[in-house]
Amino acid sequence: MADAKVIPFDDDRSRSGAARRRGVLPGGARGPATAGPAPVSALPGGQVPGGAAEATGAAPQDGDAGAGSGWDRRIAGGLAFLRRRLTGDYDVDEFGYDKELTDQVLMSVLRPLADKYFRVEVKGIENIPSDGGALVVANHSGTLPLDGLMLQVAVHDNHPAERHLRLLAADLVFMLPVVNELARKAGHTLACAEDAERLLQGGEVVGVMPEGFKGIGKPFGERYKLQRFGRGGFVSTALRAGVPIVPCSIVGAEEIYPMIGNSKTLARVLGVPYFPITPTFPWLGPLGALPLPTKWTIQFGEPIPTDGYPPEAAEDPMLMFNLTDQVREQIQHTLYKLLVQRRSVFF
């Protein structure tokens, strides 16, 4: 099958012909209007300016042509995308990240959820550097880890340099069928120091949520109270890679599934960290799994530089403790500030 080519619509010549007929000269000046197009013999090589539309004196239908050309581009692009998927003519990195699939399919699926359902408002996106590695550290909540996906959409769609966030996920994510493949394709990788350091040294923006299951599985009564950040492994990774740490606070995710109970027996049977009980789940069955349409705010704080520390700093437990505490306090303070500013959970 021949490669599908996208042919862009270029109406510059048509506009120049229309402007000439109105008597508009280059630079915006006006001259005497002409009754029709210039004679062919008066032009170099006998060429007709503006193409066939101007040669016949017919005004081009810009709206119709532009709409038709837009659909042509979409169809041609879609066919080219399908051909590459079927023939295997696409690239993935060593972690399984498929940039084309993420940009054209996965982000298109998640974007309406972020823009229309949760109405995510993004602040401080400029605190993520335009190039080089950076470690984004965020709070974790919501019973189901939708906050990580919304964080990925927020960076992808709002950063001026169009950066991609590579999330570090728990082992459970890569043990689930289908979810495992989608996570790899979207750029997520196992939450281990080795993978994180390789990504950061490769100039990627990496996201980590140190609360883990303690964060997303906490009861509703403890919402927006940060859980323990582990032993500071993310700080050690950032120090070794010499990249800045960007604290991130997410408000709105805590209320999508208000967790009022936890069936530990069912959790053990299913092999999951917890089995949530909410006002709607499991009472309403699958309908109870629908998240509440809360209003979200994601704010990226001032980056904390790490490149000024010596190489042996990554092995200093006191330094790691202090930096971990600094990041945690900054996230918690921003959470409280955003909660004070919030008018309503849903508006």
What's the pLDDT tens digit per position in 177-225?
999 999 999 999 998 889 999 999 999 999 999 999 999 999 999 999 9
pLDDT at 84: 84
Mean pLDDT (the chain) is: 82
Percent of the chain exceeding pLDDT 70 equals 80
Using the predicted structure, report yes or no on whether residue 280 has a pLDDT greater than 60.
yes
pLDDT at 30: 39
Over residues 95-103, the mean pLDDT reads 92
Percent of the chain exceeding pLDDT 90 equals 60
How many other C-beta atoms are found inside a 10 Å radius of the C-beta of residue 294? 19
SS (H, E, C) the chain: CCCCCCCCCCCHHHHHHHHHHHCECHHHCECCCCCCCCCHHHCHHHCCCCHHHHHCCCCCCHHHHHHHHHHHHHHHHHHHHHHHHHHCCCCCCCCCCCHHHHHHHHHHHHHHHHHHHCCCEEECHHHCCCCCCEEEEECCCCCCCHHHHHHHHHHHHHCCCCCCEEEEECHHHHHCCCHHHHHHHCCCEECCHHHHHHHHHCCCEEEECCCCHHHHCCCHHHCCCCCCCCCCHHHHHHHHHCCCEEEEEEECHHHCCCCCEECHHHHHHHCCCCCEECCCCCCCHHHHHCCCCCCCEEEECCCECCCCCCHHHHHCHHHHHHHHHHHHHHHHHHHHHHHHHCCCCCC
pLDDT at 66: 55
pLDDT at 65: 52
Cα separation, 24 vs 28, in Å, equals: 6
Q: How confident is the model at residue 277 (pLDDT cuts 50, 70, 90)?
A: very high
Over residues 238-258, the mean pLDDT reads 95
Q: How confident is the model at residue 68 (pLDDT cuts 50, 70, 90)?
A: low
Give pLDDT tens digits for 140-176: 999 999 999 999 999 999 999 999 999 999 989 999 9
Using the predicted structure, report yes or no on whether residue 88 has a pLDDT greater than 90.
no
pLDDT at 86: 84
pLDDT at 34: 38
Give pLDDT tens digits for 14-63: 333 333 333 333 334 434 333 444 443 333 434 434 443 443 344 445 55
Cα separation, 340 vs 225, in Å, equals: 14
pLDDT at 41: 37
